[in-house]
Structure 1
Amino acid sequence: MSLIVVSQVLLWITVAVLGVLVAALARQVGVLHERIAPAGALTLHQGVKVGDAAPEMHVKSLGGDAVVVGGARGRSQLIFFLSPDCPICKTLLPVFKSAAAAERGWLDAILASDGDEAAHRRLMMAEGLAGFPYVLSEDLGRRFGVSKLPYAVLIGEDGKIASLGLVNTREHLESLFEAKERGVASLQDFLAKR
């Protein structure tokens, strides 16, 4: 047998072995994908918990309007904590706007932060956020135990915290609505009870 024939046979054997390995790897990825549960918003150790009465606060928005956060009001409130220098916050703003528009029948959406007012005004103009109450209050973030951004709190119609957590993706933000709908603190709690 010539050297070319031997090299061709070895090459085809190698290709066949690689094909089997790729198929096995693809199967294993599929198995892992089925085992991974959807991850909701990460609930950090904070002073307030789901089911607690939300701290009621009267604050002013950047537009000068009075905004009441918390309290029983017949509508839910979504408070989205952000920062002008947080890149993840900026990528989530279209998601926040979309969710607020889709859920406007039962939900009031509020943007909250603290810091330099001029920077927040620039962010508000650049991202088209003039339609939302935008509150600058360090005390508001402290009362809700916000330690990392972006963070969101969903307050139910009864004034109690329905869900809250660190939100890094669309799925995290939507998991707050899902947790409220299912009456659980988080999707992780729901999956643990199953």
Structure 2
Amino acid sequence: MILTSQILLWAVVIVLAVMVGALARQVGILHERIAPAGALTLHQKVSVGEVPTALTLQAVDGSAVTVGGKRQGKSQLVFFAAPDCPMCKSLLPVLRSAARAERDWLDVVLAGDGDAGAYGRMASEHGLAGTPMVLSEALGRSFGVSKLPYAVLLDETGRVASLGLVNSREHLESLFEAKERGVASIQEFLGRRNGSA
């Protein structure tokens, strides 16, 4: 009786091991097929590769901030957010982290329009008080921003490297990845890669 139960137990363990191995293989195949999601590009006024007109705007602290134009060895990330946008608030710590991690090649500008006091409190609460902040409806219109949070990455020459609606850390990082790979979006890169395979 004991011998029979031992044999049955080992048979179940072997069957389970084979099933787990097959399941792990299927998860691996699925992982390869699912493409990473990049920033969502909506109907925008500017396209990747265009050089928008540089705008010099007054920041909330009174200093002058130039968005666009040629920069000395640094790219510029313009992050559009609003104090009453929950998704924006959830991404501000990610923005702060990215600004610190990428400061050697990237300058960050926080942008929006509305009450300067509310924007100041939002920046202060999320550790972005030292980040230049401009409130300009014209800036948002010039990039065709219709939903928030939205980000535009301009390269060192002032050319739009990547842009889109960013709802997660992955979306924000996809803007950097797209610039590095010289494509408009991660989706374009994956399309090219799959087309050449």
Question: So what's the TM-score if we normalise by structure 1?
Answer: 0.84
Report the Cα distance in structure 2 between the residues aligned to 1:125 and 1:106, rounded to whole angstroms: 24
Aligned residue among 53, 57, 60 for 1:59 = 57
CA contact (8 A) 1:54 1:155 kept: no
Q: How many residues align?
A: 181
Equivalence for 2:122: 123
Q: Which residue of 2 aligns with 1:180?
A: 179
By how many angstroms is 1:115 displaced? 1.3
Query: What is aligned with 2:4?
Result: none
Query: How far 1:27 sits from its partner (Å)?
Result: 5.8
Amino acid at match of 2:176: F
RMSD: 2.2
The CA distance in 1 between the partners of 2:192 and 2:31, in whole Å, is 21
Provide the residue aligned with 1:99 in structure 2.
Answer: 98
Residue 43 in structure 1 maps to residue 41 in structure 2: yes
* Aligned residue number for residue 148 of structure 1: 147
1:77 match: secondary structure? strand
Inter-partner Cα distance in structure 1 for 2:59 and 2:119:
11
Partner of 2:5: none
Q: C-alpha separation between the residues in 2 aligned to 1:35 and 1:137?
A: 42
Native 8 Å contact 1:57 1:69 kept in 2:
yes
Instruction: Say which SS state the counterpart of residue 89 (structure 1) adopts.
Output: helix
Does the 8 Å CA contact 2:120/2:129 hold for their aligned counterparts? no
Q: Which amino acid aligns with 2:179?
A: K
**Deviation of the 1:32 alpha carbon:** 2.7
Output the amino acid matched with 2:136.
Answer: S
- Helix, strand or coil for the counterpart of 2:104? coil
Question: Aligned equivalents of 1:47 and 1:94: distance in 2?
Answer: 28
CA deviation vs aligned residue, 1:121-166 (integer Å, no higher than 9, x gap): 2212222211100110010000001111111000000110001011
Q: Which residue of 2 aligns with 1:77?
A: 76
**Residue in structure 2 matched with residue 31 of structure 1 by the alignment:** 29
Deviation string, structure 1 residues 51-93 (Cα, Å, up to 9, x no partner) = 0002310111111110000001222100000011111111111
Q: Displacement of 1:29 after TM fit? A: 4.7
- Unpaired runs of 5+ in structure 2? 1-11
